[in-house]
Every structure is written in structure tokens, then in C-alpha cells.
């Protein structure tokens, strides 16, 4: 039933294709681990990937390990991966994380303010911002090809070494 609800949200949700980062960039969200709140403006000038999830969303659970690997892969290049729990109480999230620890920085948005401001409805939802804080890509729902598309987009915007390209491959 949970997967059906998440899938229904994904099928009937639409994300704006070219919206810039909202002027309300001053969000500060509490950390699920009780640490310091995270002020989103501190990430200006960095590529930021944000994933929104809920504890009852099956596809969110499937995607989480892939996002953790994404963070590990791009950590040296300064990519920021934020995991925002959407519209659930801190107690519910903490209980879930006690049973399912995450390597990602998990933030709490019990009213779903950030996701709604970005025009995303449903879980899992994702948003990728370039170094100019422009929304480059967003999606609701998760498939195996999602991580491939996301990785390619991050590669395009990620600062730092991009690897070697064999001579003659670029025209």
C-alpha cells in the first residue's frame, strides 16, 4: 500500500522545469541527530542535491543507499547531499533512523515548506541545484535510471577534476 501511495504521488505530480532557486533561500532546518540546525544559505556556490522522503515510502527506502553512494563518490568534489524528511514529526523520524541509520545529513521539515516551495509533491522527490543556485533538475518518484541521470548531471556541474578524456574523443 505504501508503494502504491508513493507511486500515485509520483504519477500525478509535476515539478517546474525551469524555476530558479526560491528567493526564500534563508531556510534553516533542524537536524534529526539533534546537532546544529543547518542553514541552507551556507551552501551557496556549491552543487546541492536535495532528496525528500518519508518513513512510509518504499521507493524512498530503495533510493537511500544509492544517494549515500552518490555522496561518497562526489564528496571530494564538494557536492552537498541533503536528506530532508518531509511532513513527519521529529519523533517518528528519529525512531525510523534508530532502526535504519543513514550516512546522509538528515534534516527535518515537519511542515514540508521546502518541498512545497520548490513545487514538488510526493516522495521520493529530488532537486539538483547548480553552483548559481539554479534548479537544474527535479523529479518525483524513483527508478533505476534516475540515479544514472542524476550522476550525469552532477558530473556536468561538479567542480574539481573531471577525469581524463582520451585524445580524439572530443570534437
Mean pLDDT of 128-138: 80
In a domain, 124, yes or no: yes
Q: 28, 107 in Cβ contact below 8 A?
A: no
Domain assignment of residue 9, given as a range = 2-157
The stretch 12-29 carries a mean pLDDT of: 48
Asked whether residue 163 is assigned to any structural domain, the reply reads no
**Taking all residues of the chain, what is their mean pLDDT, rounded to a whole number?**
77
Question: Could you tell me if residue 166 is inside a domain?
Answer: no
H-assigned helices in the chain: 2-11, 58-74, 90-99, 113-117, 144-157
The answer to whether 84 touches 52, Cβ cutoff 8 Å, is yes
Is 162 inside any structural domain? Answer: no
DSSP 3-state of 50 = strand
Higher pLDDT, 9 or 64: 64
Q: Please provide the DSSP assignment of 101-114 as one string.
A: --SSEEEEETT-HH
Q: What is the pLDDT of residue 6?
A: 44
Residue 36 maps to a domain: yes
Q: What are phi and psi of 105, to 5 degrees?
A: -75, 115
If one compares 7 and 143, the residue with the highest pLDDT of the two is 143
Q: What is the CATH number of the domain that holds 13?
A: 3.40.30.10
- Contact status, residue 38 vs residue 82, Cβ threshold 8 Å: yes
Does residue 127 lie within any of the structural domains?
A: yes
Asked whether the whole model's pTM tops 0.95, one would answer no
Q: Alpha-carbon distance 144 to 8, whole Å? A: 18
Domain count, the chain: 1
- Indicate the DSSP class of residue 84: E
pLDDT, residue 159, reads: 61
Amino acid at each position: 500500500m505504501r508503494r502504491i501511495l508513493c507511486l500515485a504521488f509520483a504519477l500525478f505530480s509535476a515539478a517546474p522545469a525551469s524555476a530558479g532557486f526560491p528567493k526564500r533561500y534563508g531556510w534553516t532546518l533542524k537536524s534529526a541527530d539533534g546537532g546544529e540546525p543547518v542553514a541552507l544559505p551556507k551552501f551557496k556556490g556549491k552543487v546541492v542535491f536535495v532528496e525528500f522522503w518519508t518513513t512510509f515510502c518504499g521507493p524512498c527506502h530503495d533510493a537511500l543507499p544509492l544517494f549515500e553512494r552518490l555522496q561518497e563518490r562526489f564528496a571530494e568534489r564538494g557536492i552537498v547531499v541533503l536528506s530532508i524528511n518531509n511532513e513527519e514529526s521529529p519523533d517518528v523520524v528519529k525512531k525510523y533512523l534508530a532502526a535504519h541509520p543513514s550516512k546522509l545529513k538528515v534534516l527535518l521539515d515537519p511542515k514540508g515548506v521546502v518541498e512545497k516551495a520548490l513545487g514538488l509533491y510526493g516522495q521520493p522527490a529530488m532537486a539538483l541545484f547548480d553552483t548559481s543556485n539554479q534548479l537544474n533538475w527535479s523529479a518525483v518518484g524513483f527508478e533505476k535510471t534516475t540515479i544514472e541521470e542524476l550522476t550525469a548531471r552532477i558530473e556536468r556541474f561538479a567542480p574539481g577534476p573531471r577525469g581524463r578524456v582520451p585524445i580524439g574523443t572530443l570534437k
